[in-house]
Amino acid sequence: AFEPMAKCAEKILAANNMRDKVRVIHKRSTEMEVGPGLDMEEPANILVAEVFDTELIGEGAISTYNHAMEHLLTADALLVPSAGRVYAQVVSSPQLHSFSRPNAIVPLNFPQLHLPPSFASCPGSMSVHDIQMSQLSTHMFTPVSDPIEVFSFDWSGRDIKLTCNERTHNVFTPKLRKQNQSNNNDKYQEALTCHAVLMWWDITMDQEGKHILSCAPHWEQSSSTGPNSVPWRDHWMQAVYHLPPPLVTIPRNATNDVTDRRRESHQSLTLTSSRDEYSLWFSVSAGDSATVVPAPHCSCGVHMTTSHMRLAQLSDQRRLEAMQTAIDSTLLQQEGRDEKAWLLLGDGINLLIVGKLATDNRVSHVYLVEASKHDCRVMAEFLSLNKLQDRVTIQPKKTKDDTIASVLEHKIGVVFSEPHFNTSLLPWHNIRSNKLMAQYRDLLPSPPAPPTSGITPLQINFNKNKDFTEHLPSMTGAIVLPARITVYAMPVCFLNLWKIRAPCEQRCGFDLTIFDELIDTARCRSDDYVEAQPLWEYPCIALHAPVALTSLDLRTDAMAVTATTDASVQLDTAAISRLVPHIDAMRNSCYGTRGGSCLSKEASLSEANTSESPSNLSDGKTVSATSSQVHFNGVAVWADWQFGEKSITTGPVEEVVLGEQVVWDMYSKQGVHLPRESVPLLQRSSSGNLAPKLFTSSVTIKDGQLSFSFNVRDYSQHH
d(CA 124, CA 101) in angstroms, rounded, equals 8
Kind and range of the H or E element at 709?
A: strand 705-714
Beta-ladder partners of 511: 506
Confidence at residue 253, expressed as pLDDT on a 0 to 100 scale: 59
* Residue 527 vs residue 621, higher pLDDT: 527
Over the stretch 182-216, which tens digit does the pLDDT of each residue have? Answer: 444 444 456 889 999 999 999 999 999 999 999 99
518: confidence class by pLDDT, cuts 50, 70, 90: very high
240 and 280 Cβ atoms separated by less than 8 Å: no
User: Per-residue b/e over 475-508, b at no fewer than 16 CB within 10 Å?
Assistant: bbebbbbbbbbbbbbbbbbbbbbbbebbbeeeee
Q: Is the peptide bond before 246 cis (omega within 30 degrees of 0)?
A: yes
Kind and range of the H or E element at 6?
A: helix 3-15
670 and 533 Cβ atoms separated by less than 8 Å: yes
Fold equal for 3-80 and 83-309: no
Provide the residue ranges of all domains of the chain, joining segments of one domain with +: 3-80, 83-309, 316-445, 485-718
Confidence at residue 258, expressed as pLDDT on a 0 to 100 scale: 43
- The CATH number of domain 83-309 is 3.40.50.1820: no
407: confidence class by pLDDT, cuts 50, 70, 90: low
397: confidence class by pLDDT, cuts 50, 70, 90: low
In CATH, what number does 3-80 get? 3.40.50.150
Over the stretch 265-319, which tens digit does the pLDDT of each residue have? Answer: 458 999 999 999 999 999 999 998 888 899 999 999 899 889 999 999 999 999 9
Q: Is the pLDDT of residue 596 over 60?
A: no
Instruction: Give 384's contacts (C-beta < 8 A, 6+ positions apart).
Output: none
DSSP code per residue over 654-684: S---TTSBP-B-TTS-EEEE--SS-EES--B
Over the stretch 37-53, which tens digit does the pLDDT of each residue have? Answer: 999 999 999 999 999 99
33 and 72 Cβ atoms separated by less than 8 Å: no
Q: Hey, CA dihedral for 330, 331, 334, 338, is it positive or negative?
A: positive
* Residue 545 vs residue 396, higher pLDDT: 545
631-658: average pLDDT? 96
Shortest CA distance to 445 belongs to which of 415, 424, 467?
415
Beta-ladder partners of 365: 341
Shortest CA distance to 196 belongs to which of 251, 244, 125, 249?
244
What's the one-letter identity of residue 259? T
Instruction: Give 451's contacts (C-beta < 8 A, 6+ positions apart).
Output: none
The 8 Å CB, 24+ separation contacts for 535-538 are 535/636, 535/662, 535/664, 535/669, 535/670, 535/672, 536/135, 536/663, 536/664, 536/665, 536/666, 537/131, 537/132, 537/135, 538/132, 538/135, 538/494, 538/495, 538/496, 538/497
716: confidence class by pLDDT, cuts 50, 70, 90: confident
367 and 341 Cβ atoms separated by less than 8 Å: yes
CB atoms within 10 A of CB 85: 17
The number of residues making up the chain comes to 719
Q: Is the pLDDT of residue 432 over 60?
A: yes
Q: Hey, CA dihedral for 659, 665, 669, 671, is it positive or negative?
A: negative
Q: What are phi and psi of 400, to 5 degrees?
A: -70, 155
Confidence at residue 136, expressed as pLDDT on a 0 to 100 scale: 94
Confidence at residue 223, expressed as pLDDT on a 0 to 100 scale: 75
**DSSP 3-state of 650:** coil
Over the stretch 130-188, which tens digit does the pLDDT of each residue have? Answer: 999 999 999 999 999 999 999 999 999 999 999 999 999 999 999 865 444 444 444 44
Q: Is the pLDDT of residue 263 over 50?
A: no
Which CA distances in Å does 546 have to 462, 636, 715? Answer: 21, 9, 19
* Residue 538 vs residue 177, higher pLDDT: 538
Half-sphere exposure of 295 (CA within 13 A, CB side): 11
∠ Cα 501 504 506 (to 5°): 160
d(CA 339, CA 363) in angstroms, rounded, equals 9
What's the one-letter identity of residue 119? F
In CATH, what number does 316-445 get? 3.40.50.150
385-407: average pLDDT? 75
By percentage, how much of the chain surpasses pLDDT 90? 68
Over the stretch 476-497, which tens digit does the pLDDT of each residue have? Answer: 999 999 999 999 999 999 999 9
By percentage, how much of the chain surpasses pLDDT 70? 85
397 and 344 Cβ atoms separated by less than 8 Å: no
471: confidence class by pLDDT, cuts 50, 70, 90: confident
269 and 174 Cβ atoms separated by less than 8 Å: yes
- The CATH number of domain 485-718 is 2.70.160.11: yes
**DSSP 3-state of 284:** strand
d(CA 243, CA 577) in angstroms, rounded, equals 48
Q: What is the pTM of this model?
A: 0.89
Confidence at residue 458, expressed as pLDDT on a 0 to 100 scale: 34
634 and 502 Cβ atoms separated by less than 8 Å: no
Over the stretch 69-95, which tens digit does the pLDDT of each residue have? Answer: 999 999 999 999 999 999 999 999 999
Beta-ladder partners of 636: 490, 672
419 and 641 Cβ atoms separated by less than 8 Å: yes
